[in-house]
Copies of this chain bind each other. A is one copy, B any other.
């Protein structure tokens, strides 16, 4: 351990913070009886409207490709947690709808989101969490590309 400390950069810190939530989520889902659910599935859970959503909409919300969402949605279909229904208003589209079991797991996931945030508040203080949330909820605009 003979080494100089190092400058911390925000990106690194954000990644570690994300992993803190990720591990808590996956652990919570596992102990709640859904050992095969991962963070990627929560990308659907967190954004799925109560009446279902389209794959493209989920992709836009989560900021990933249509194909990535397609992948995890079909894993959820395999698990029997969501179903794909035809959209009456647009026959080229489908709607991702949770099954009863899916609704139960979604409820668990949403509760875990809240509990993890509360646990964090008890560790670093509610003010810090509120400020973190406020800063991160702002519109950061597109990534710098030049």
Q: List chain A positions with a Cβ less than 8 A from chain B.
A: 1-4, 6-25, 27-28, 31, 39, 42-43, 46-51, 53-54, 57, 61-63, 89, 110, 113, 115-117, 119-120, 123-124, 128-129, 131-141, 143-146
Q: If the complex has contacts A11-B42, A113-B9, A132-B132, are A31 and B146 also in contact, measured as CB distance less than 8 A?
A: yes
The answer to whether A62 and B8 touch across the interface, beta carbons within 8 angstroms, is no
Separation of A49 and B1 alpha carbons in the complex (Å): 12
Write out the residue numbers on chain B whose beta carbons fall within 8 Å of the beta carbon of A131.
128, 131-132, 134-135
A92 smallest CB distance to B (angstroms): 14
Q: If the complex has contacts A113-B9, A119-B144, A144-B28, are A54 and B135 also in contact, measured as CB distance less than 8 A?
A: no
The answer to whether B110 and A47 touch across the interface, beta carbons within 8 angstroms, is no
